[in-house]
Structure 1
Amino acid sequence: MAQICQVCGKGPQFGNNISHAHNISRRRWNVNLRPVKAKVEGGAKRIRVCTRCIKAGKIVKA
């Protein structure tokens, strides 16, 4: 399942792991998503929302 917030559209970011010996490998930082039952278009629906949207009050919990 895609690691994308269904409210703001935030997705994973990419970068590098750098070891003490300066070996470089790719890594990714995933979004902190939570399944939330929210009011969407009048009805209750389970959506995956990042914690920043939950804290900001961008959703109304059902």
Structure 2
Amino acid sequence: MAYRCEICDKHTAHGNNVSHSHKKTKRVWRPNIQRVRARVNGRTQRIYVCTRCLRSGRVERAI
């Protein structure tokens, strides 16, 4: 599974879980990536897109 949006280039972010005692462990935040059929340069292609781009209308879906 690709963890990078092909439209806005959003990708995995890294950081720490911080407990009440301030103990830190590594964790990741992954964007909600969907594989959709979209119109790219007049052709239908399957691309990986984040749901924020889908919702905002940056991607023209091909149905």
TM-score, length basis structure 2: 0.87
Structure 1, gaps ≥5 residues long: none
Matches within 5 A, 1:31-46: 31-46=31-46
Q: Which residue is equivalent to 1:5?
A: 5
Aligned to 2:52, what secondary structure does the other structure show? helix
Residue 23 of structure 1 deviates from its aligned partner by 2.2
CA–CA distance in structure 1, aligned partners of residues 21 and 31 of structure 2: 29
Contact 2:15/2:27, CA 8 A, preserved across alignment: yes
Give the root-mean-square deviation of aligned CA atoms. 1.2
Provide the identity percentage.
44
The amino acid of 2:53's aligned partner reads C
Instruction: Report the secondary structure of 1:52's partner residue.
Output: helix
Give the number of aligned pairs.
Answer: 62
Unaligned runs of 5+ in 2: none
Q: Deviations over 1:14-58 (max 9, x none)?
A: 110123443211111001001110001111000010000000000
